[in-house]
Structure 1
Amino acid sequence: MDDAPRRTVPIKLDVPEERRGDLHQTKTQFLHCANRTSEWAWRYDDYCITSKSKAENALYGELREETDLTANLVQKGIRRAIEAVTGGVEKLKQGEKTSQPEFDSWSVVYDKRSATFNDDHATLSTPNGRVTCEYVLPPEDEREGTPFGRYYERDDWDASSATLQYDEQGDTFYLHVTLKNPDYVVDGTERQEASHDDETPENGVVLGVDLNVTGAFAVTSTGAFLGSADHLNHKRDQYEQRRGRLQQVGTRSAHLTIQSLGSRFSNWSLDWLHNRANDLIEEAQDADVDGIIFENLNHIRENIANGSKFQQWTYAKFMELVEYKVESTELFVDTVNPAYTSQRCSHCGFTHEDNRDDKQFACQSCGYEVNADYNAAKNIANRYCGYIHRGQKSRSGWANSQLALKSGTLNVNGDYTPTELLG
């Protein structure tokens, strides 16, 4: 049971004027998920449903279709409702009167998969991409006695989740960040925070993942090649060719066959992506990493040949499935800007367009030769490590981060640790 001490720090946000509507839209759709779940789970003449997994299995797909929220926010809406229904059931057991929970107050629940909590700003997921919100803080020399200074700025308190709220009277957004401190010592019956005056926060290890249109579908920084993008594209081409022939026929029977084919291909594609997501999570767990790092999806779309909507859907759905599946693990998912990850040498850092020739990477400076997708995966993880090294607050409060390799780990300074010394 996670009973680490917790503190909640309210932080006023400076939201760009053009993105305020995105936060309001997020709230509307989030509450829709909660209310739909509450309506489904609350049963007057039968047992109420208090299982989060049952609710997710029954409603997740529908709510994903009905909203534009990310997988994580839909799950949060479902879970918020189930928690309220569970509380209502407890009241009924105690003989108290209560009714189906309804959600109408302005609030959205975020965690580290749908938000990032940085030193001076947060990024929040919305139906229209992430919104960067600067913190409105007192001068640095006046923060020491505030909750922000006492908890948020300290390395031993980790931002684990937050609730976004809106003050209508002041037309202001506030982020109520929940922090916890798992490092404490037991003294009799009282808990005290452990002293870390002479220690630095533990390093984290991340797995870089390069997604591809040809060759292996996903390549990791540990050297795992998962699935065949060529096979996926071949199945898509077969479907398109048959659909084209049926469209030329033009009969009602042909139209119905097209619909049936489309449904079968869609189901096959989704099942294939589910299996690849499972493969990736298994690789991450075998490598004992903390997080899985992808390229930012918006940048990926810009680089996809001909802007194929199927390829865009494939990437987006795969990342969504991975984010959904890691909910039941200790892993997290994050993204980085992929600029030049395919041209940079992961061995020496030299960046040049001539370094890469299709699937082969040969550094023009140091001579390092390796599979190009594997090289890119290492660069993706290394870029995330660089963010932490430069002082960006990590998702787990790390001081530094390392990238997972086939035979060990490597930090941003180039220090290598072989697998046998990790443990």
Structure 2
Amino acid sequence: MDDDAPRRTVPIKLDVPEQRRGDLHQTKAQFLHCANRTSEWAWRYDDYCITSKSKAEDTLYDDLREETDLTANLVQKGIRRAIQAVTGGVEKLKKGEKTSQPHFDSWSVVYDKRSATFNADHATLSTPNGRVTAEYVLPPVDEREDTPFGQYYESDDWDASSATLQYDEQEGTFFLHVTLKNPDYEVDGTERQEAELPDDHEKNGTVLGVDLNVTGALAVTSTGAFIGSADYLNHKRDQYEQRRGKLQQTGTRSAHLTIKSIGSAFSEWSLDWLHNRVNDLIAEAHNADVDGIIFENLDYIRENIANGSKFQQWAYTKFVELIQYKVESTALFVDFVNPAYTSQRCSHCGFTHEDNRDDKQFACQDCGYEANADYNAAKNIANRYCGYIHRGQKSRGGWATSQLALKSGTLNVNGDYTPTELLG
């Protein structure tokens, strides 16, 4: 969607559950910490100010991730808010105007589609303690037509792209100021038109489901791509731990220095390995011509291996963070679904039973469908997201429906299969 598209901002009052209000206040405090730390680093009045977003992120991102419990996207938003303010300050200095280092203390948090979902009657907002679901406080349906919510938010012509969360301290009320864009805007007097579609064809989007694993392939997609080897990653970690253990037994200063050296080398190697696997997954998404990449909820992933290796938890989380970071400048998006029973459900007929899965093999006890268990789970992840859209949840890009990418085509939630050769 073009950055020059017309925009409208719609303020929406939120009904936040009492027990989750503190999570939003915590998010604000950590978000402003990211912005102020960045402003302090970037504002160098006696030398020169840093106005490069990429340079700021390269320098500060890892530290701010350590200092806060925010998601990758919110940390990036905090950095970028500060750099934007610093850039404005530099422009004032060039004009000979007086100004000072930007400081952020007003109650606000910036969200976009990677850290929030904007639904028909509620929003979900990322916090350090998981997502908060907040219902919209709206007038009756028959009274909305002449309100900004009815004119823009509920209109198919406008798409929610981002929002700023604010808090009215006097009323004790949260407000979400949602920014919407209109993709059908005029360029040089000519209105942009969607490609004409048959009357019975709905505008839709396609998503790639991804199942992450502790053993076998690190990531398996709904198109049948097996990306990376979790077993190999774990093997390299075990090799490092074994060598570190032997050096610790030695107990010499030289051994201690060697431990630090090999630890640093392994950290660099593992991060580089994950970067390469991320590139493989993004390439698969582009090859499949999808709009979004769908994972299981990260909270579940952490719980699923809570008793396992901290390294595995880190690898899972870092892999998804890198995906989110790398797609931010592209048309792709990342989203998450509830993972309940995705490993036990048959992606072919929908029958769910714990006996369907035996380690890496899936064999439906009802219809007889057989497949790799992780591939079956990846299809279920994508199909569940499509189901959300089918049931009326507000989609990315204003889709009417959604479909999942398969090995040789697409499948919508109604079970209608389209071969690859007919997609072009």
TM-score of Structure 1 vs Structure 2, range by shorter chain:
over 0.9
Further displaced range: 97-106 or 323-332: 97-106
Q: 1:11 to 1:242 in 2, by over 3 A?
A: same
Task: Tell me the CA shift for residue 251 of structure 1.
Answer: 4.2
SS at 1:307 equivalent: coil
- In the TM superposition, residue 259 of structure 1 has moved relative to its aligned partner by 3.1
Question: Offset at 1:93?
Answer: 2.4
Counterpart-to-counterpart distance in 2, 1:195 and 1:157: 19
Whether the aligned pair in 2 keeps the contact of 1:112 and 1:160 (CA below 8 Å) is yes
The match for 2:334 is 333
In the alignment, the residues of structure 2 paired with residue 365 and residue 257 of structure 1 have an alpha-carbon distance, to the nearest angstrom, of 57
Q: Which residue of 2 aligns with 1:241?
A: 242
Q: CA RMSD in A?
A: 2.4
Please say if residues 73 and 109 of structure 1, whose CA atoms lie closer than 8 Å, have aligned partners that are also in contact: yes
Equivalent residue number for residue 35 of structure 2? 34
Task: Indicate the residue corresponding to 1:146 in structure 2.
Answer: 147
Deviation at 1:172, TM superposition (A): 1.1
Q: Extract unaligned runs of 5+ from structure 1.
A: none
Residue in 1 that maps onto 2:313 = 312
Taking the aligned partners of 2:183 and 2:371, their CA distance within structure 1 comes to 41
Q: State the Cα deviation string for residues 187-224 of structure 1 (Å, max 9, x = none).
A: 9489999999x898620100000111111110101111
1:261 aligns with 2:262: yes
Cα 1:151–1:369 change in 2 (3 A) is same
Kept in 2: contact 1:186–1:192 (CA 8 A)? no
**Corresponding residue for 2:176?**
175
Deviation at 1:55, TM superposition (A): 1.5
Find the aligned partners of 2:201 and 2:177 in 1 and give their Cα distance.
27
Whether the aligned pair in 1 keeps the contact of 2:185 and 2:191 (CA below 8 Å) is no
For residue 272 of structure 1, what is the aligned residue in structure 2?
Answer: 273
Within 5 A, what are the aligned runs for 1:367-382?
367-382=368-383
Q: Using the alignment, how far apart are the partners of 1:2 and 1:254 within structure 2?
A: 55
Could you tell me how far 1:328 is from its partner in structure 2?
1.6
* Uncovered stretches (5+) of structure 2, i.e. residues with no partner: none
* Shift in CA distance, 380/193, structure 1 to aligned 2, threshold 3 Å: closer
Task: Name the structure 1 match of 2:5.
Answer: 4
Q: Which amino acid aligns with 1:238?
A: Q
Distance 2:39 2:20 in 1: 29
Secondary structure of the corresponding residue to residue 398 of structure 2: coil
Q: Report the equivalent of 1:165.
A: 166
Check whether the contact 1:200–1:399 (CA below 8 A) recurs between aligned residues. no
Q: Which residue of 2 aligns with 1:123?
A: 124
| 1:346 aligns to 2:347 (yes or no) | yes
Matched letter for residue 154 of structure 2: E
Could you tell me how far 1:233 is from its partner in structure 2? 0.9
2:302 matched to 1:323? Answer: no
CA–CA distance in 1 between the matches of 2:404 and 2:87? 41
Q: 1:249 to 1:84 in 2, by over 3 A?
A: same
Q: Which amino acid aligns with 2:131?
A: R
Moved more, 262-271 or 283-292: 262-271
Instruction: Show CA shifts across 1:229-263 (max 9, x none).
Output: 11011111112222333333444444443333332
TM-fit CA distance, 1:103: 1.3
Partners of 2:260 and 2:189 lie apart in 1 by 68
My pick for the range that moved more, 383-392 or 66-75, is 66-75
Aligned to 1:48: 49
Distance in 2, matches of 1:179 and 1:348, equals 38
Checking the alignment, whether the CA contact within 8 Å between 1:155 and 1:201 is kept in structure 2 is: no
The 8 Å contact of residues 122 and 135 in structure 2, kept in 1 or not, is answered as: yes
Residues 295-320 of structure 1 show CA distances to partners (whole Å, capped at 9, x for unaligned) of 11222233338333222221111111
Q: What's the CA shift for 1:107?
A: 0.7
1:410 aligns with 2:405: no
Helix, strand or coil: the match of 1:306? coil
Between 345-354 and 206-215, the greater mean CA deviation after superposition: 345-354
Q: Deviations over 1:256-303 (max 9, x none)?
A: 433333322222221111111111111111111110000112222333
CA distance in 1, matches of 2:195, 2:363: 49
Task: Assess if the C-alpha contact under 8 Å between 2:184 and 2:191 holds in 1.
Answer: no
Q: Which amino acid aligns with 2:36?
A: N
C-alpha spacing 1:282/1:189, structure 2 compared with 1 (3 Å): closer
* Corresponding residue SS for 2:318: helix
1:187–1:61 Cα change, 3 Å? closer
- CA separation in 1, counterparts of 2:388 and 2:411? 15
Contact 2:108 2:164 in 1 (8 A): yes
Preserved CA contact (<8 Å) 1:91 1:98: yes
* Contact kept in structure 1, 2:130 and 2:299, CA below 8 Å: no
TM-score for both structures, normalised by structure 2: 0.93
| CA pair 362-199 structure 1, distance change in 2 beyond 3 A | closer
1:72 — aligned with what? 73
Paired residue type of 1:43: R
Partners of 1:310 and 1:295 lie apart in 2 by 19
Taking a change above 3 Å as real, the CA distance of residues 354 and 275 of structure 1, as seen in their structure-2 partners, is same
TM-score by length of 1: 0.94
Bigger shift: residues 39-48 or 110-119: 39-48
Secondary structure of the corresponding residue to residue 60 of structure 2: helix
Matched to 2:411, the amino acid is L
